[in-house]
Amino acid sequence: DQQVKQNSPSLSVQEGRISILNCDYTNSMFDYFLWYKKYPAEGPTFLISISSIKDKNEDGRFTVFLNKSAKHLSLHIVPSQPGDSAVYFCHSLVYNFNKFYFGSGTKLNVKP
């Protein structure tokens, strides 16, 4: 029962270009979404979040977009840098009931 799906296991992007990572969810009760970044041999670290009352949240080079009707969110990284090479996890939850699910991750490779 995969309630959160990241259908692209990997993505390769040239330095300076835009990286777009996608996440789909099935549960319309989800109302808070987070992205985490994970380097090898380290635990995931929180990157950016968005509430369902918004459709966009921006933090520096990172922007998350939420399309509630499509049950889809995406993370945009502009411009991409080699240090962004990592695995990115999408995390969806029901804010008041503490039900939460992680996607399987997308491995981003930013080529110099």
Partner 1 sequence: DAGVIQSPRHEVTEMGQEVTLRCKPISGHDYLFWYRQTMMRGLELLIYFNNNVPIDDSGMPEDRFSAKMPNASFSTLKIQPSEPRDSAVYFCASSWMGNQPQHFGDGTRLSIL
Binding site for partner 1 (CB under 8 A): 6, 32, 34, 36, 41-46, 49, 89, 93, 95-96, 98, 100-105
Considering beta carbons, is residue 65 or 100 the nearer one to partner 1? 100
* Minimum distance from residue 17 beta carbon to partner 1 (Å): 26
Q: Is 110 exposed, middle or buried (0-12, 13-18, 19+ CB in 10 A)?
A: buried
* Minimum distance from residue 16 beta carbon to partner 1 (Å): 29
Q: Per DSSP, which regions of 3-105 are E strands?
A: 4-5, 10-14, 19-25, 32-38, 45-51, 56-59, 62-67, 72-77, 86-94, 99-102
* Minimum distance from residue 35 beta carbon to partner 1 (Å): 10
Considering beta carbons, is residue 77 or 87 the nearer one to partner 1? 87
